[in-house]
Chain A
Amino acid sequence: MASGLAQTINKVLDLCRAHADGLPQKVLDEEIPDLELLSQAINFLLSKQKLVVFTQGDNIVYKEQNTEVAVKFKGLTSEDMLVYQSIEAAANQGIWTADLKRRTNLQQPQINKALKNLEGRSLVKAVKTVTNKNRKVYMLFELTPSREVTGGAWYTEQDYDAEFVDVVKQQCLQFITKQGLADLQAIADAIRKSGITQVELGLEEFKQIMDTLVLDGDVDETMGGETYSSDTVCYRVAKSRIPETSALTNIPCGICPVLRECQPGGLISPETCVYFDQWLSF
Chain B
Amino acid sequence: MATAFGRTLCCNLIQTHFGDVVERVVECLINRGPLAFGDISRYSELGSEAVKSSILVLIQHSCVQAFKVEHEGASATAPRRVVTYYVAISDNIFHRMRFPKFLVAVREDFGEEAESLVEGLLEHGRLTLEQIIQRTAAKAAKAEGEVANEVKETFTKLVTARFIERCPSPEPWLNQKDPRELLSKVARGASKVRGPVLSAEDIVQSEVVQRVIKAAAPLETQRFQLPVSMAGLGVSDSDSQMAEGSQASEKRKLEALEMDMKTAAAVDEKEVLWRVNFEEFLRKMRHQTCVDTVKTELDIGASVVLSAMLQATRKDETSVRQHHSVPLSMDGITQAVWSTPDGQHMPLERIRSSVQQLASDKIGYISRAGERAGPALGGNSYSVNMHNIIEARQKSEVEGIVLQRFGRECCRIFRLLVRKGQLEQKQIGEQAMAPKTVKALLYCLLKEQYVQVQEIARTSEHVARQSIFLWKADYQVVLHRVLDDLYHAATNLCLRHAHEIRKEQEVLELVDQLDARKDAGSDAHVTLTSDQQEQVKRISRITKILDVSLLKLDDTILLFHDF
A contacts, CB < 8 Å to B: 151, 154, 160, 162, 165, 208-209, 211-212, 215-217, 239-240, 242-251, 253-255, 259, 262, 264, 269-271, 273, 276, 279-280
B435 contacts A by Cβ under 8 Å: yes
- Residues of B close to A239: CB separation below 8 A: 297
Shortest distance from the beta carbon of B19 to any chain A beta carbon, whole Å: 17
Set A151, A211, A271: member contacting B496, Cβ < 8 A: A271
Stretch at the interface among B30-38, B283-291, B371-379, B484-492: B484-492
B210 contacts A by Cβ under 8 Å: no
Establish whether residues A216 and B408, one from each chain, have CB atoms under 8 Å apart when the complex forms: yes
Q: A208-B433, A248-B556, A280-B542 are in contact. Are A253 and B411 (CB under 8 A)?
A: no
Establish whether residues A253 and B489, one from each chain, have CB atoms under 8 Å apart when the complex forms: yes
Establish whether residues A211 and B411, one from each chain, have CB atoms under 8 Å apart when the complex forms: no
Shortest distance from the beta carbon of B164 to any chain A beta carbon, whole Å: 29
Q: Considering the complex, give the chain B residue whose CB is closest to the CB of A240.
A: B297
Q: Considering the complex, give the chain A residue whose CB is closest to the CB of B298.
A: A239
Establish whether residues B400 and A264, one from each chain, have CB atoms under 8 Å apart when the complex forms: no
Q: Considering the complex, give the chain B residue whose CB is closest to the CB of A222.
A: B362
Main secondary structure of the interface of B (DSSP, over half): helix
Interface centre among A249, A251, A255, A279, by most chain B C-beta atoms within 10 angstroms, is A251
In the A-B complex, the 5 residue pairs with the closest CB atoms? A243-B400, A253-B489, A270-B492, A247-B552, A249-B404
- Contacts A246-B400, A254-B401, A270-B496 known; 13 new A-B pairs at CB < 8 A: A211-B431, A242-B400, A243-B397, A243-B403, A245-B400, A247-B549, A247-B553, A248-B486, A253-B489, A255-B405, A262-B488, A264-B491, A270-B499
Set A209, A216, A247, A249: member contacting B411, Cβ < 8 A: A216
- Residues of A close to B400: CB separation below 8 A: 242-246, 249
Interface size on B, residues (CB 8 A): 44
Q: Considering the complex, give the chain A residue whose CB is closest to the CB of B426.
A: A131
CA A202 – CA B469 in complex, angstroms? 31
Q: What would 27 A/B residue contacts be, using CB atoms closer than 8 Å?
A: A209-B433, A211-B431, A215-B431, A239-B297, A242-B400, A242-B403, A242-B411, A243-B396, A243-B397, A243-B399, A243-B400, A243-B403, A244-B400, A244-B403, A246-B401, A248-B553, A249-B405, A251-B549, A254-B405, A255-B404, A262-B492, A264-B491, A269-B495, A270-B492, A270-B493, A270-B495, A280-B500
- Residues of B close to A242: CB separation below 8 A: 396, 399-400, 403, 411
- Residues of B close to A160: CB separation below 8 A: 435-436
Shortest distance from the beta carbon of B485 to any chain A beta carbon, whole Å: 7
- Residues of B close to A211: CB separation below 8 A: 431
Shortest distance from the beta carbon of B477 to any chain A beta carbon, whole Å: 16
CA A151 – CA B486 in complex, angstroms? 42
Set B432, B482, B485, B500: member contacting A212, Cβ < 8 A: B432
CA A6 – CA B480 in complex, angstroms? 85
Establish whether residues B489 and A248, one from each chain, have CB atoms under 8 Å apart when the complex forms: yes
